A and B are shown apart, each in its own frame.
Chain A
Amino acid sequence: RKEVEQDPGPFNVPEGATVAFNCTYSNSASQSFFWYRQDCRKEPKLLMSVYSSGNEDGRFTAQLNRASQYISLLIRDSKLSDSATYLCVVLPGTFSGGYQKVTFGTGTKLQVIP
């Protein structure tokens, strides 16, 4: 099993639709989670952190399910500008001794259609 796995893409959705991506992780000790967005031919950019209690930022909602070991990203009222690849990132627990192993998912491509 891969350390981090994401929903296979691409997701093609109409403008205004709600879409959700999942990302599963294998290390139950993982503590920090993030969603990044990467536009074509650009660098990954931090979209939002994922907190244990779930968090919302405008049309975006991130949630963590520790029991089932996955995180999710929900996008409401999709815009054309939301078209991008969404990467989940999983980091280990307590940082100590200088090592911070970071694992990126392979990404889920979203295409919002007019």
Chain B
Amino acid sequence: DAGVIQSPRHEVTEMGQEVTLRCKPISGHNSLFWYRQTMMRGLELLIYFNNNVPIDDSGMPEDRFSAKMPNASFSTLKIQPSEPRDSAVYFCASSLAVSGINSNQPQHFGDGTRLSIL
């Protein structure tokens, strides 16, 4: 079975440029998460979608960051304009959330996008 698919795997670009990261969640999963990981701050949740709707975007650093989920099989995270401090590994993860007690299911992560802003 295909896991979470992210693209690109690596991105190197100059500051000020627009960066778009892409994610295809596992088929059938209804929750999607974008994370950022750095040595200093560890794994940070940026935004969470459920059934394609953004539920919690309190982790999005600032207005330069935006995320969309136009359908159940695709999401993007966009940074515009990019800055050197945005350099990090960005992970997308998906899970299946079902109403009910003890219904939380583990998340499955994509390989990540290693982003370097020069």
Binding site for B on A (CB under 8 A): 31-32, 34, 42-46, 49, 87, 89, 91-96, 98-102, 104, 106-107
Contacts of A104 in B (CB 8 A): 42-43, 45
Contacts of A44 in B (CB 8 A): 43, 91, 109
User: In the complex the two chains form, is A43's CB within 8 Å of B112's CB?
Assistant: yes
Nearest CB in chain A: distance from B71 CB, A = 17
Binding site for A on B (CB under 8 A): 31, 33, 42-43, 45, 48, 50-51, 53, 55-56, 91, 95, 97-104, 106-112
Further pairs besides A95-B98, A98-B55: 9, Cβ < 8 Å: A31-B102, A42-B112, A91-B104, A98-B97, A99-B55, A100-B50, A101-B56, A104-B45, A106-B42
User: In the complex the two chains form, is B109's CB within 8 Å of A102's CB?
Assistant: no
Contacts of B106 in A (CB 8 A): 34, 46, 49, 89
Count of A-B residue pairs with CB < 8 Å:
68
Contacts of A106 in B (CB 8 A): 42-43
User: In the complex the two chains form, is A100's CB within 8 Å of B43's CB?
Assistant: no
Residue of B nearest to A96 (CB): B99
Contacts of B108 in A (CB 8 A): 46
User: In the complex the two chains form, is B51's CB within 8 Å of A31's CB?
Assistant: no
Contacts of A100 in B (CB 8 A): 31, 48, 50, 55, 95, 97, 104
User: In the complex the two chains form, is B104's CB within 8 Å of A107's CB?
Assistant: no
Nearest CB in chain B: distance from A94 CB, A = 5
A43-B110, A45-B109 as given contacts; A99 in contact with B56, CB under 8 Å:
yes
Contacts of B99 in A (CB 8 A): 94-96
Partner of A92, one of B50, B100, B104, B111: B104
